[in-house]
Homo-oligomer: A and B are copies of this chain.
Amino acid sequence: MVEPVRIALDAMGGDFGPSVVIPGAAQFLERKPDSTFIIYGDSEKIAECLAPYANLRAASKVIHSKVAVGMADKPSQALRAGRRVSSMWMAIEAVKTGAAHCAVSAGNTGALMAMSKVCLHTMAQIERPALAAIWPTLRGRSIVLDVGATIGADAQHYVDLSMMGAAMARALFGIERPTVGLLNVGVEEVKGVEEVKTASRLLQQIDSPLFSYHGFVEGDDIGRGTSDVVVTEGFTGNIALKTAEGTARQISAYLRQELTGSWINKLGALIARGAFRQLKARLTPRETSGAVLLGLDGVVIKGHGGIDSNGFSGAIEIAHGMVRRGLLEKVRDMMALAEQQVNAQRAHDDSAQDAPAQAERPLATGQ
């Protein structure tokens, strides 16, 4: 029998706390019964919300915390008041101690990022974590990162983001060698900022069996699904993500206005209502309700602050999938292989004059 996935939940995160988190967990458990939960937060409120869900009660342990991180708290403030004692911290710490395989919170992004970094630390070789979103595209789904964890990036950070994103694509999509595109303002080599151009040169030189560098992509390539992974720094990534969300809401509003504008349009909309239901499902698939914190020594998922219980169940599903499909191992493999390649290249460069016949890519077959 497979060991169940142990999931730590911050019940106090998000705009609605346990009233969304608990029904979300219950919905998720119906889909994936191979899960158990440790639920952190106000135990009284949690017990109330748990009452209707016998299966979830049986699969859960509730641990009381009287401190909840506020949605508007600054990260430093949250750390000061919530370190060790808040439901958010305790959920993350459960991952560190091994009590849980992963943690899910719909709370304050900055605080979640800061606490995860302090509690779990980043992986060896990775300096700064990233927030990766799953983006529905015309060709399926892509991973876009960083959508807001770290503002600004040097060339090496773009390379790290590429490798972390590719590792996640390997875990999520099961593609052996996902394609990685670097977000830029034009496809011609001449355009863009210096760091992005340098990163592109570095990525061209890396010949990894674990990902393939596609080159530059532009904003409209994201929705087109041009590459499996789209890499940018956190400022631009966050704005791209929110602009796309805003555009989708805007078009939905236009569509609603037009389809209710006259009786004939109302009739047409009624007849084709199945199409609009499908459209909605395609625009907001469950798996877009959470983003993955990458680069940490543990699986932490951030659910959107305003999601409903169906959305929260999707955020838990991402966490579950990332554990089952070995996200951390895949990121570690990726970074280890990159380091071996760099070392081999260095050794080759050092001994190039003495031994010109040395193998150039001893790791080309990967693992």
A residues in contact (CB < 8 Å) with B: 72, 74-75, 110, 136-138, 148, 151-152, 183, 185-186, 188, 190-193, 218-224, 232, 234-236, 238-251, 253-255, 258-259, 261-262, 264-276, 278-279, 282-283
Contacts and interface: CB of A to CB of B under 8 A. Distances in A.
B238 A240 contact: no
Residue in A193, A247, A248, A249 with the greatest tally of chain B CB atoms within 10 Å: A247
B271 A193 contact: no
Nearest to A246: B220
A268 B275 contact: yes
Contact of A235 (B74, B136, B185, B276): B185
Nearest to A109: B186
Main secondary structure of the interface of A (DSSP, over half): helix
23 contacts: A138-B250, A138-B253, A151-B192, A152-B193, A218-B242, A219-B242, A219-B243, A219-B245, A220-B242, A220-B245, A223-B243, A223-B250, A224-B249, A240-B240, A243-B243, A254-B282, A264-B271, A265-B274, A265-B275, A266-B272, A268-B268, A268-B272, A268-B275
A110 B244 CA distance: 26
Given A183-B239, A254-B279, 10 more contacts: A185-B239, A219-B239, A219-B245, A219-B246, A222-B246, A224-B250, A247-B248, A261-B275, A265-B272, A267-B271
A143 to B, nearest CB: 15
A258 B245 contact: no
Given A151-B185, A188-B72, A188-B74, A223 B239 contact: no
B239 A258 contact: no
